[in-house]
Structure 1
Amino acid sequence: MTQLSWEGQQMLLNGEPFRIISGAMHYWRVVPEYWEDRLRKIKAMGCNTVETYIAWNVHEPKEGQFNFKGMADVSRFVALAKEVGLYVIVRPASYICAEWEFGGFPAWLLNEEMELRCNDPRYLSKVEAYYDQLIPELTPHLITNGGPIIAMQIENEYGSYGNDKAYLQASKQMLEERGVDVLLFTSDGPQDDMLQGGMTEGVWATVNFGSRANDAFDKLLEYQPDAPLMCMEFWNGWFDHWHEEHHTRSAQSAAESLDEILARGASVNFYMVHGGTNFGFMNGANHGERFEPTVTSYDYDAAISECGDITPKFHAFRDVIGKYTTLSEEPIPANLPKAAYGAVDVKRSVKLFDTLAAISEEHQSVTPEPMEAYGQAFGFTMYSTTITGPRPESHLKIQDVHDRALVFLDKKFIGVVERWNPTSIPVVIPEGGAALDILVENMGRVNYGPQLIDRKGITHGVRLNGQFQFHWTVRTMPLEDIAQVAFDQASSELTGPQPAFYEAELNIDGEPQDTFLYLDGWKKGVVFINGFNLGRYWEVGPQKSLYVPAPILKSGRNEIVVFELHEQGEALRFEDVPEL
């Protein structure tokens, strides 16, 4: 039987010496039309394997409703990797981190009474129901069945989270019971507590790091002396949060660390070799001292850029790999063409309050609850109530907003409350009372660490002068169907800064090409092109452009809808180079 195995620290494939040289690429961060282009470039760099996480929330966005089509067609992705000539490592664990929304968990888990990532039977039963649908998509592609999948991960960096060995064994058993008979592994940081918490009996342990390879491998050998060495996540770049500088790592520095890994005789998986994009509302967030949402781009300063371009880091890595193995003689695929389509003007607009009824679902609620309580996973939620007056010199406090709220009094914008800056807002309520509306944006759930449980919206209530306010109308706005926006309902009664939808069109002659959208002067919001959610923009940076892959465009008229939270900027501008 063809299978990965080892003798001492020598890895074997079908009994012959083998070294994994792998690159991470997530199929759900790349439009399917570009999967083959990216896979061929990964192979051309010198990789013999591609690695991918599997995001539970991509495949079961609503409980019991499964999706394995389009960007979620993992079976097609794996089959395509085999056609290109790559083996595949799959990381299907229920939790993946990956700077992805909620670490891959579906938001509906937050409505269940259970503990995540432990041996809670209620949690395991949800994972099992998911695996019952997912694993049959993968088992035909196992190397033991003639496919390219050589290994699977049972859990992800668990030693950074917990120490439940029964849970790790249950995770192993769930895969094995569903016919997974390839090599199973864990991956953790190369520290004592992480390895002690993350390793489990009968499962190969690997380590994750960005530098000091020999130190990391020496630590792993203390715990696993008679197995091959592998860096499962070689962090050769990094991701960005809003409000930060764009992260880069020099090609020379990363190549030197790669050389240290390969000189040790170890296997490696580049994290990332091609990052892709956090399309839609699917970016994750970190929470250390404060909440830090991840930007739309997941370029990662990787060897293959967000838009699929070959970078200097690609060539530096290829040169190092060439010292240790024979490189493919196939030519390196060319970069795809890019187009600068120029500027397009807004044709029409409608303020949010004028189209709110058309794009939302209404709920009555005694207290303002998190969006998950109303069956909402992503997007925006409007909380509305009436405050009696008069109340001069009052202060409004949103108790624990997740994540960013715009506050309106009688539909006039009066302030912003942010999770990382939870200020109160001074208000004056006239004698006749006033309508209070609070629009809350879910900016991405925490994907790593002890703050993983991250419900969105207003999580603890709204207080005026210390007094909780009750009886709310709540309107959920997942923005799943942008065609519902009622541009014909536009009115001129609302003044001042207002959230609004803006429509423009881009006309393309001939075959569309990749391009990059700039929103000069716009403040914060989301962009849709032909109904496809490109992701978020925000003037605070670092990201200044949104990647627009050609397959979401079409020859002729392309509809652009911008949901801007504050005020309209300049004409939309399409250029042929990004600014990250």
Structure 2
Amino acid sequence: MTSFAAPLRARSTPWPRPESSPGFGDPRFTITSRRVLRNGVPVLPVSGELHHLRVPRADWSRRLRLMRAGGITAVSTYVFWLWHQPVPGPADFDGQLDVASFVAEAEAADLDVVIRIGPWCHGETRNGGFPDWVQQAPVQHRTNDPAYLRLVDDWFSQLGAHLSGVLARENRVIAIQLENELYDQPDHIAMLQRIATDHGLVASVYTSTAWGSAALPKGLVVPLYGGYADGFWVDSDSGWDASFREHFFHSHVWDDPGIGADLRTSEKSGTDGRFAPELYPPATCELGGGMTVAYHRRPTVSGRDIAAVAHAKIGNGSAWQGYYMFVGGANPPGTQWQESHATGYPNDLPRFDYDFHAPIGAAGDLREAFGLLREQHTFLRDFGGMLTGMPSALPETMPKGLDDRSTLRWALRSDGRRGVVFMTWHQPLVPLADVESVQFDLQLCETTVRFPDRPVTVRSGTTARWPVNLDFGGIGVDWATASLIALTDGRVPLLVLGEEEGILGQVRFAGGVDVTEQVVGAERPWQGARLLRARSESGALDVLIIPFTLRGSLTVTPTGRVILAVGAVVEDGAVLTVEESDGTRPAEFCADSGEWVGRGHSERSTRRTAVVVTAHDPAAEPPATYGQFKRRASAPSSADVRRYGARWELDLRRAIDGDVLTISWMGDVAQLAVDGIPVADQFWNGSVWRIPVDRLAAGSGSRVELRVLPGHPESRVGIGYDGRSASLPVTAELDEAVLVSTARWRIDPASERS
């Protein structure tokens, strides 16, 4: 445990130069050197990746609405060339490939759209998304070679024609990304923009990825950055790489030299690894919403890890939060679409699985990260506009390096008069000790704020946003030791704060304010909130302080309804639907009475049905290796899985619509086949495998088989952050197979009145 004898100090820092305005974009979506404006109003957008090609079209609407319920404001999606034009000739935009219909579904879900058109995308796809015939063409790929540009021109022409009905009218497509992870071809990116524009592929702004010190054409594209807690693209025995660890610290460096480094062929760059503040604000498009696995390295990223990285970026000055992925998916059966050694990549990826351990999994299930990020996004929705006027300042005492586990990691965003203190005191693998005697001394333009009155202990795992000198409804809040979550309109404004673990949420009001306090929720499960009613001659404010134990269940909807519910609260007018619930009845906060009121009726109960399993072939002893490429272990083939894997037959005849097949297993590789044809797979890293039954397309007479390949003690496979935190099981085990459907609640004021 660490303690500090003196207060932790930071001085608010003014903007280094005037704001460039107008910046990039148009009146509906503008990017200046400091911030983003939506229809002229400062906002802090939150984008999240969903690949429409990896999610069944029938599920697009639900997934998009779950994203919106998680606080996402824009959906981002790749358009993979190889899916649409596998052979020369007319491109296919039917069914699952209908990009325009996906944009329409996003608009219906009240989401903006970012289209990443490549033409080289990566996204863990074969050839980076090039069709095989393009990959094999005698051209200089990803350059201004006229022969290559002719291929791109034809593709962009067909994509532009397909999207013409969307882009030619008022629409929600705010950005188009050109190329991906291209480091030394700024003239080529400028040419791609020209070709895209010629074919009607026009949005408010164009963007490009900027990590790896990429050289980009200034003034044409907005550079976007990334940050992952861990990644599959490093060697199996390389440990927890510094390029991952640094994202758990507060800093003003936005470049990440590690993302895509395994595919980088050039060390040329055009920047010093920082964003260009004279032109652009710091913005991201690939904060790790999770992580997929390669055969040789299989990271395990927790929800707290994901939330800590995202939280640190907000404190560091983020003007746009973007996640990759926010919704997981799967490659459909048929052609092998994934990145692999066979196509010259250093990583073997699962043939089907792209769940990514995302906040919304491939089966539509919610993970811990969903609730943690939802709270951050609610804060950005209600306070992001204010935050865009606050540059980030780092404290006087900074960590001495990536191994420093005693110096508190924090930052101040302030306009010199008011501000928010961000603490991000969490990292995986190497735990952080609690920090005692924490007190802040903030040097603002005209005053010094020291708080809290008495030093507190910041526990390991804390991510906090504490307000300083803010005014709400005419009531001044000097400071609070609870995180800002939401501010709702009403007869009396309601400020929602969340307590940190082990710290009593205190609020210091400005002088002349009378305060009364009441406990909210005397009975389980919604127990322990407090309501402060602050009144003065100049205004009124209610403050609802949510205990730490309830923060993961809190939703404050865009219309200001305060709900406690396990799951995702989807708002459609006055009707709320709670998806992925554990069956606990939701409660809504009533401001007049200051109490929680039970709401809604159950539309579906949680259901668990055991799958009848018949064991057939036992596992055979596997080889120590299935080969390697660039020093990385190669994955076994389907023939290897059949030869060495244990086999079970699964009886899914008791499945109903909406069921998810949930499999707990141990081994190396698992594969599901329907009537002998592989349709799903997973590389083991300790995660439970969830597959929607309808994705299996198994008829009543179909034979569904699970094969599990055992590991070998000499396998060069890394599991966990350090590549050594877990061992590859040397047995093939099926622990459990069940059909699961989760509870759903509907809160409809009309039905409750009747």
| TM-score category of the 2 structures, normalised to the smaller one | 0.5 to 0.7
- Structure 1 residue runs of 5 or longer lacking an equivalent are 349-412, 423-439, 444-476, 478-495
Match of 1:534 in 2: 679
Aligned residues of 2:275 and 2:281 also touching (Cα < 8 A):
no
Shift of 1:324: 2.8
Deviating more after overlay: 90-99 vs 335-344: 335-344
What is the letter of the counterpart of residue 738 of structure 2?
E
- What residue number does 1:67 align with? 92
1: CA distance, partners of 2:126 / 2:292: 14
Q: What's the offset of the Cα at 1:545?
A: 6.4
**Per-residue CA distance 1:311-344 (angstroms, 9 max, x = gap):** 2211111222222323524246412867545134
**What is the distance in 2 between the residues matched to 1:524 and 1:319?**
36
Matches within 5 A, 1:181-220: 181-191=202-212, 194-195=213-214, 197-210=215-228, 211=247, 212=249, 214-217=251-254
The whole-number CA distance in structure 2 between the counterparts of 1:512 and 1:46 is 24
SS in 1 for 2:36: strand
Q: 2:317 aligns to what? A: 264
Could you give the per-residue CA deviations for residues 347-385 of structure 1, whole angstroms, max 9, x where no partner exists? 99xxxxxxxxxxxxxxxxxxxxxxxxxxxxxxxxxxxxx
Mapped to 1, the partners of 2:650 and 2:693 lie a distance apart of 18
CA contact (8 A) 1:213 1:261 kept: no
Tell me which structure has the larger Cα radius of gyration: 2
The one of 556, 559, 566 aligned to 2:702: 559
Instruction: Note if contact 2:282-2:319 (Cα within 8 Å) is conserved in structure 1.
Output: yes
Contact 2:649 2:706 in 1 (8 A): no
More helix by share: 1
1:78-477 to 2 correspondences below 5 Å? 78-142=103-167, 145-159=169-183, 163-191=184-212, 194-195=213-214, 197-210=215-228, 211=247, 212=249, 214-217=251-254, 223-251=276-304, 254-255=307-308, 257-261=310-314, 264-280=317-333, 281-285=336-340, 291-295=346-350, 296-326=352-382, 327-329=557-559, 330=571, 331=576, 333-335=578-580, 340-345=609-614, 418-420=627-629
Asked which structure has the greater RCO (Cα within 8 Å, sep 6+), the reply is: 1
Q: In 2, Cα distance between the equivalents of 1:565 and 1:332?
A: 38
* Cα distance in structure 2, aligned partners of 1:557 and 1:57: 34
Partner Cα separation in structure 1 for residue 623 and residue 74 of structure 2? 54
Match of 1:117, SS?
Answer: coil
CA contact (8 A) 1:297 1:543 kept: no
- 3-state SS of the aligned residue for 1:241? coil
- Share of identical aligned residues, percent? 22
Q: CA 1:41 to 1:187, structure 2 compared with 1: closer, same or farther past 3 Å?
A: same
Task: Tell me: CA distance 1:501–1:167, structure 2 relative to 1, closer, same or farther (3 Å).
Answer: farther
Query: Which one of the candidate residues 651, 660, 669 is aligned to 1:514?
Result: 660
The DSSP-based 3-state class of the residue aligned with 2:323 is: strand
Give me the whole-angstrom Cα distance separating, in 1, the residues matched to 2:55 and 2:357: 16
CA-CA distance at 1:527 after TM superposition:
3.7
Secondary structure of the residue aligned to 1:91 is: strand
TM-score with structure 1 setting the length = 0.64
Letter in 1 for 2:185: D
| In structure 2, distance between residues paired with 1:245 and 1:135 | 38
Q: Which amino acid aligns with 2:53?
A: W
Offset of residue 533 of structure 1? 5.2
Alignment of 1:2-13 (within 5 A): 3-13=28-38
1:340–1:99 distance in 2 versus 1, CA, 3 Å: farther
- Deviation, 1:237, is 2.4
Q: Paired residue for 1:29? A: 54
1:87 offset after TM fit, Å? 0.5
- Is the CA contact (8 Å cut-off) linking 1:33 and 1:551 kept in structure 2? no
Q: Which amino acid aligns with 1:39?
A: L
Shift of 1:150: 0.7
> Could you say which residue in structure 2 is the equivalent of 1:371?
none
Deviation track 1:205-260 (CA, whole Å, cap 9, x = no partner) reads: 22222425642349676535233331111124222112434421442662453353
Alpha-carbon distance between aligned partners in 1 of 2:199 and 2:630, rounded to the nearest angstrom: 47
| Match in the other structure for 1:453 | none
Partner of 1:575: 738
The verdict on how the C-alpha distance between 1:553 and 1:48 changes in structure 2, with shifts beyond 3 A counting, is same
* In 2: Cα distance, 1:119 partner to 1:500 partner: 51
Distance in 2 (alpha carbons) for counterparts of 1:293 and 1:509: 33
1:87-110, Cα deviation, whole Å (9 max, x unpaired): 101101111111222221222324
Q: CA deviation at 1:67?
A: 2.4
| Structure 1 residues 186-211: Cα deviation after superposition (integer angstroms, max 9, x where no partner) | 333445xx23x244552222222242
Match of 1:384 in 2: none
Is contact 1:231-1:269 (8 Å) kept?
yes
Q: Check conservation: 1:37, 1:333, Cα contact below 8 A.
A: no
Give the conservation status (yes or no) of the 8 Å contact 1:537–1:544: no
SS in 2 for 1:293: coil
Q: Which amino acid aligns with 1:172?
A: Q
CA contact (8 A) 2:663 2:734 kept: no
Please say if residues 666 and 733 of structure 2, whose CA atoms lie closer than 8 Å, have aligned partners that are also in contact. Answer: yes
Which segment drifts farther, 258-267 or 337-346?
Answer: 337-346
Question: Which residue identity does 2:209 align to in structure 1?
Answer: D
Counterpart residue type for residue 207 of structure 1: Y
Structure 2: unaligned runs, 5 residues or longer: 1-25, 229-246, 256-271, 383-556, 560-570, 582-605, 711-731, 742-754
Q: Distance in 2 between matches of 1:324 and 1:415?
A: 50
Contact 2:613 2:649 in 1 (8 A): no
- The Cα shift of 1:155 comes to 1.2
Tell me the amino acid that sits aligned with residue 680 of structure 2.
G
Distance 2:674 2:186 in 1: 46
- Whether the aligned pair in 1 keeps the contact of 2:302 and 2:369 (CA below 8 Å) is no
Of stretches 7-16 and 496-505 in structure 1, the one that deviates more from structure 2 is 496-505
Q: Distance in 1 between matches of 2:372 and 2:688?
A: 27
- The one-letter code matched in structure 1 to 2:175 is A
Amino acid at match of 2:86: P
Could you tell me the TM-score, scaled by structure 2's length?
0.50
Partner secondary structure for residue 557 of structure 1? coil
Question: Are the aligned partners of 1:262 and 1:324 in contact in 2 as well (CA < 8 Å)?
Answer: no
User: What is the one-letter code of the residue matched to 1:513?
Assistant: D
Q: Name the CA shift for 1:170/1:253 in 2 (closer, same or farther; >3 Å).
A: closer
> Match for residue 389 of structure 1?
none
- Residue identity in the other structure for 1:551: D
CA deviation profile, 1:262-305 (whole Å, cap 9, x unmatched): 66251111111112224443332489x99431234323232222
Give the whole-Å Cα distance in 2 for the aligned partners of 1:501 and 1:122: 50
